[in-house]
Amino acid sequence: MNSEMRKTAAECLLMRHVDDKISAVRTLVRQWGSRELQLDARAIMPAVDVPGRPERPHLSRANKMPRRGFGTIEGRAIMMHAIAHIEFNAINLALDAVQRFPDMPESYYSDWLQVALEESYHFELIRAHLRHLGGEYGDYDAHGGLWEMCEKTAHDVLTRMALVPRVLEARGLDVTPGIQQKLAQAGDDNAVSILDIILRDEIGHVKIGNHWFRYCCKEKGVDPVVTFTELLAEYYPKGLMGPYNMVAREQAGFSEQEMVFLMNA
């Protein structure tokens, strides 16, 4: 691996094999923690247009995805596969946040490395349960919506912090309890427990996104709520879809003003 942390993160991002990527992330976080790697926050990294990913799953449009019923083992396997794909993309998103954006405080890079590590753990938890259900990552088609937003926000760290953790990842906080309820009704208590872990950690990830979004707004001298509203109007002209998990969002650091805005949007 490279001796500079952000360049090493870029190398991890480009790795195609899932287990190689996860192992490299763990090594990267360990080496960064022990100061075996240096940080060059000013370095302008080469653009990464396509992250490393395995040949499978095949990527299709979101409306072409297989149905995710909960009443059968295969239906639950399809759901676990979809979540595994989200977690795999989340590893790449966190690595990209490290390698792409220069001139941020050291703690910014440490935060997103920790997110990459936790997303790797989530992926392994979900994949293990998927295997228990008789499936494997790559067995079903998936969609690339998460990385598409990564591309759209590649030009600006403020926009990235506003729209990836605070919109896409926060959406996970909203939908997870409903998924857990259906899994519990199907008797899949193991999956429910796994999603408990993921929900707990994702609250922390969204909180990190909230923190750095507000940091960027302060640096640019702009109002966070006004800026967020303007970005939503630009990138989500049809608005966001509820319902919202207000308890989890409050724990993740959304302000009261933002919560009121979401409820009335």
Identify the CA nearest to 109 among candidates 14, 47, 38. Answer: 38
**Inter-residue contact 114 to 47 (CB < 8 Å):** no
The DSSP string of the chain is --SBHHHHHHHHHH--SHHHHHHHHHHHHHHHHTT-SB--TT--PPP-SS----S-SPB--GGGSPP--SSSHHHHHHHHHHHHHHHHHHHHHHHHHHHH--S--HHHHHHHHHHHHHHHHHHHHHHHHHHHTT--TTSS-B--HHHHHHHHTTT-HHHHHHHIIIIIIHHHHHHHHHHHHHHHHTT-HHHHHHHHHHHHHHHHHHHHHHHHHHHHHHHHT--HHHHHHHHHHHH-TT-------HHHHHHTT--HHHHHHHHH-
- Domain-embedded: residue 58: no
Determine the average pLDDT of the residues in 138-162. Answer: 88
Q: What is the pLDDT of residue 67?
A: 64
Is pLDDT of 157 > 90?
yes
Q: What is the pLDDT of residue 239?
A: 82
Q: What percent of the chain has pLDDT over 90?
A: 76
Q: What is the pLDDT of residue 37?
A: 96
Q: What is the pLDDT of residue 199?
A: 97
Determine the average pLDDT of the residues in 162-173. Answer: 94
Is pLDDT of 262 > 90?
no
- Domain-embedded: residue 129: yes
Q: What is the pLDDT of residue 128?
A: 97
pLDDT, greater one: 181 or 66:
181
- Domain-embedded: residue 91: yes
pLDDT tens for each residue of 133-146: 999 999 998 876 67
Q: What is the pLDDT of residue 57?
A: 85
- Domain-embedded: residue 83: yes
Determine the average pLDDT of the residues in 108-127. Answer: 98
pLDDT tens for each residue of 10-23: 999 999 999 999 99
Determine the average pLDDT of the residues in 52-81. Answer: 80
Q: What is the pLDDT of residue 66?
A: 61
Question: Which residue's entry shows tokens 């922390």?
Answer: 204
Q: What is the pLDDT of residue 241?
A: 82
Q: How confident is the model at residue 31 (pLDDT cuts 50, 70, 90)?
A: very high
Is pLDDT of 63 > 90?
no
- Domain-embedded: residue 24: yes
According to DSSP, the residues that pair with 59 across neighbouring strands are 142
Q: How many structural domains is the chain composed of?
A: 1
Which domain, by its residues, includes 253? Answer: 5-36+67-264
State the Cα–Cα distance between residues 234 and 199, nearest whole angstrom.
28
pLDDT, greater one: 53 or 121:
121
- Domain-embedded: residue 62: no
Q: What is the CATH number of the domain that holds 179?
A: 1.20.1260
- Domain-embedded: residue 244: yes
pLDDT, greater one: 64 or 39:
39
- Domain-embedded: residue 57: no
Residue 142 dihedral angles phi and psi, to the nearest 5°: -140, 170
Q: What is the pLDDT of residue 68?
A: 66
Q: What is the pLDDT of residue 65?
A: 60
- Is the pTM of the predicted complex or chain greater than 0.85? yes
